[in-house]
Amino acid sequence: MLTGWRYRVSSAVGTALLVAVAVFVANLPISQSVFTSVVPLFDRLEPTVLDGTSLGWALTLSVLGIAGAVWPLYKPRPRRILDTVFCAQKRVLVGGLALATLGYFQWSHRLPRATLVIIVVVLLVALPGWFLLIRARPNGSGGRTLIVGDDPAQIDDIAPAIDTPVIGYLCPTITAARDALRSTPETDTEAVTDGGIELRHNGAADLEGKTDSPRMIGSLSRLGGLSRLEDVLVEYDIDTVVLAFRQADRAEFFGALDACHEHGVDAKVHRKYADSVLVSEGDVGELVDVDLEPWDPLDHLFKRLFDVVFAGMGLLALAPLIFMIAIAIKLEDGGSILYRQERTAVFGESFPVYKFRSMIENAESETGVTISEEDAGGVDPRVTRVGRMLRKTHLDEIPQLWSILTGDMSVVGPRPERPELDSEIQSDGVDWEKRWFVKPGLTGLAQINDVTGHEPAKKLRYDLEYVRRQSFWFDVKIVIRQIWKVLSDLKEFASDE
């Protein structure tokens, strides 16, 4: 893996060479003839092979246009695989559009249309591959490593298990640790910005009263508090983050995992915290890899495309029904049409979920009841007449198609819970946090098996089974079963009426 100036030079030079190769490939008679005969849009064009002077201009313009367009990728920074691919392809299209614009004005050195399209097509495949190649980690090496934790002593305990170069650590202010260190004359401390303390080791006792002094942390650079995590990941081009939290269920822990996921950085935890995260199969070391992206990249792409198509077509097809439901809710009691509620998303973040209001106005705040009796098969008196019909037919969930379209939710995944219920269930159920490693869904394995939040342990088993088995085709099966279930409920409701 390349870093720093080596990455900048290699990425720029490699891009220029690939553009040059693409130009020569596009100028071959066989490439021209195959392209103009296969692509219907260009079937009337005669193959245009450039002479020496024109080829030189084509090469110069292409390198300036396309290699210049991808300049943001020359800066070394962590990115997820799909982000790298999409960014490179988008920049190639921008460069190709710039070259096409020159041709539109009948400039004397414009590229023939077939030549330009062949160049762009070749680079749409070659350039993303090049940037992924130079960012690949050789022999599974962790590259540049950062330690992130909430306690200097915990960082010191875990640091010896790291076998890759450690750039430094992030740690917030620890009042008890600061007081303990200041009471020990052999250790100097210095207050630093953004929380935390800088340790300058002189043979002091460690933070837990051991006779041994800190073995590692005194030799590491403190790079700030937890709030600087994203800045440090980019500034130092970090490849791996080792989490050294004493409490692996705290918000900062999952916030750090979220930052690693967004920036394409690997994350590791100590084996004793493996129950709180998804870990890679077969990992047997003292530090285990967190499976931040359990989806296969291709499945992930298909899943997102499916989500967008499903939600978009659903909102368009159901538009008349949405209008009628809104009128019915308004006519019944004159209250609000939509009900808004915060739910837990990936890595413990929260997002707003909207439903058609099926209860009396402010039902939960007025009664203090958060779980409906309907979940246990009973009758909830707070549910309105229109709301009972919406719940029975699942039509109250329609507004969540918008959340799917915007990317907050997926069509299939563990149903999102309210943050307060998440906290309660998390304290009672082992592995509950593992649900946070996949995007919440409109439906899921628990829903098609009629398991609700009234049975959290059973629901958790179904959710974790989905996390383990997830794939695009598994999603399709769940959606088909859910559609069949909705149609059956609609038929049952119509017969009852």
The domain spans of the chain are 4-136, 140-289, 297-496
Given a cut of 70, whether residue 192 has pLDDT beyond it is: no
Q: Residue 195's pLDDT is what?
A: 40
Beta bridge partners of 496: none
Q: Residue 127's pLDDT is what?
A: 92
Q: Residue 216's pLDDT is what?
A: 57
SS3 label, residue 338 = strand
Q: Residue 367's pLDDT is what?
A: 55
Q: Residue 81's pLDDT is what?
A: 77
The C-alpha atoms of residue 259 and residue 7 are separated, in whole angstroms, by 23
Q: Which of the residue ranges 75-79, 208-212, 493-497 would you say has the lowest mean pLDDT?
A: 208-212
69 sits in the region (left: phi over 0; alpha: psi -120 to 50; else beta) called alpha
Residues ≥6 apart with Cβ < 8 Å to 222? 168, 169, 170, 171, 192, 196, 197, 198, 199
**In what order do the strands lie in the sheet containing 240-244?**
166-170, 145-149, 240-244, 266-270, 287-289
CATH fit for domain 140-289, picks 3.40.50, 3.40.1580, 3.30.70, 3.30.1360: 3.40.50
In degrees rounded to 5, what are phi and psi of residue 169?
-145, 160
The C-alpha atoms of residue 15 and residue 22 are separated, in whole angstroms, by 10
SS3 label, residue 269 = strand
Q: What angle do CA 88, 91, 94 make, to 5 degrees?
A: 155
Beta bridge partners of 341: 353
Mean pLDDT for the stretch of residues 88-112: 78
Q: Residue 227's pLDDT is what?
A: 85
Mean pLDDT for the stretch of residues 210-219: 52
> Helix axis angle, 81-104 relative to 297-317, nearest 10°?
70
User: How is residue 414 written in tokens?
Assistant: 């563990």
The rounded Cα 391 to chain-centroid distance in angstroms is 31
Torsion 271-274-278-282 (CA) sign: positive
H/E stretch holding 327 reads helix 319-333
Amino acid at 393: T
User: How is residue 272 written in tokens?
Assistant: 């004793």
Q: Residue 125's pLDDT is what?
A: 92
Could you tell me what percent of the chain has a pLDDT over 90?
Answer: 13
The C-alpha atoms of residue 446 and residue 170 are separated, in whole angstroms, by 39
Per-residue pLDDT reduced to its tens digit, 357-389 = 988 876 665 555 555 555 555 567 778 888 888
pTM attached to this predicted model: 0.56
Per-residue b/e over 362-398, b at no fewer than 16 CB within 10 Å? ebeeeeeeeebebeeeeebebbbebbbbbbbbbbbbb
Per-residue pLDDT reduced to its tens digit, 215-269 = 556 678 888 888 888 888 888 888 889 988 876 656 677 778 888 877 878 888 8
Per-residue pLDDT reduced to its tens digit, 37-87 = 655 555 455 556 556 667 777 788 888 888 888 888 887 777 777 778 888
Per-residue pLDDT reduced to its tens digit, 292-345 = 766 666 777 788 899 999 999 999 999 999 999 999 999 988 888 998 888 887
Q: Pairing mode, if any, of strands 338-344 and 350-356? A: antiparallel
The C-alpha atoms of residue 65 and residue 53 are separated, in whole angstroms, by 18
* Residue 199's pLDDT band (cuts 50, 70, 90): very low
Whether 299 and 402 have beta carbons less than 8 Å apart is answered as: no
Q: What angle do CA 4, 88, 36 make, to 5 degrees?
A: 140
The C-alpha atoms of residue 385 and residue 332 are separated, in whole angstroms, by 8
194 sits in the region (left: phi over 0; alpha: psi -120 to 50; else beta) called left
Q: Residue 426's pLDDT is what?
A: 58
* Residue 423's pLDDT band (cuts 50, 70, 90): low
Per-residue pLDDT reduced to its tens digit, 399-411 = 999 999 988 899 9
